[in-house]
Chains A and B, each alone.
Chain A
């Protein structure tokens, strides 16, 4: 049992469990699955700065912050108790490409050679950690949701604007990963 759990889980198990979060939140309290709104709630709670977009009663959305707190604890528990400690297996073509940028450490799900405090003051680190994070925060709110709010909740509720958003997420990702990121990784 533990042996099975400590292996990486297949996509159909993970997909089904994530899909079930949609009815779980609805049944527990009529809540819509979404995560990026938390970034807005944090702004509203900590730095509203008299900006109309952040002047609302964020406490009514505090469930969302508990939800994301659970994600954080879940990450901690699985790393501590359910891990396999084996290197991440990646597609040989990707490994070959990453090797040309000097990335060959597969010990963690997050490549330590890219995301670390040591890299924070290099050009690559600033673009990837600060620039990448900024795009995630700005883009999700501009789009009105992220993978959970649009791609999963929105599509589950058959919302065509969510389909537009999801397609744009994928197009943006394709362009970045294939045409722009190689230059950033070469820095």
Chain B
């Protein structure tokens, strides 16, 4: 593809967004907003898997961290293998999106946040028995008190953004 370098209308915006590697990928195509429903459909399947495989269960997470069950290791391990094969094939065969755009990958840069933040998230994961995805699925199953956990997680993210410059990275 000749036109590989994306032109970013606002370099500042791009710089801030790049702080999350997943936000780097931008589409040059303009789609109506309701095209986003395709992502809702994928999320819906994901949510059903979360519940049906008990990944959102606080008990399963406790078993995982006490080495009492293989279940979660099996789920994450299988997901990584299937994901890695998929990424490999997409790169090798230069597969494009359904709209004909290139699929791009960006490297994650190492910083100390992956250690400090990783440990903090690990603590939170064991306490709440949920990572961010399962929190939303738990709320969906009707456990309304989880909304408090989600609001607190949003407050945590906000506090990180507020303190970001003062934290070691």
Contacts and interface: CB of A to CB of B under 8 A. Distances in A.
Interface of A: 5, 8-40, 42-43, 47, 49, 51-57, 60-64, 66-79, 82, 88, 90-91, 93-94, 98, 106, 108-112, 114-117, 119-120, 127-162, 164-178, 180-181, 184
Contacts of A168: 114-115, 117-119, 121-122
Q: Is the interface of A mostly helix, strand, loop or mixed?
A: helix
B101 A53 contact: no
B87 A20 contact: no
Contact of B97 (A15, A29, A160): A29
B4 interface: no
Contacts of B89: 23
Interface range, B side: 35 or more
Contacts of A110: 56-58, 129, 138, 141, 143, 146
A155 to B, nearest CB: 5
A142 B20 contact: no
B42 A76 contact: no
A28 to B, nearest CB: 5
Nearest to B128: A132
B17 A144 contact: no
8 contacts: A37-B20, A39-B132, A69-B40, A94-B62, A115-B58, A132-B149, A146-B132, A170-B65
B82 A30 contact: no
A70 B46 contact: yes
B92 interface: no
Contacts of B84: 155-158
Nearest to B10: A57
A73 to B, nearest CB: 5
Contacts of B52: 5, 8-9, 14, 78, 82
B133 A147 contact: yes
A35 B77 contact: no
A142 B113 contact: yes
A63 B38 CA distance: 9
A129 B58 CA distance: 12
A82 B89 CA distance: 34
Contacts of A13: 53
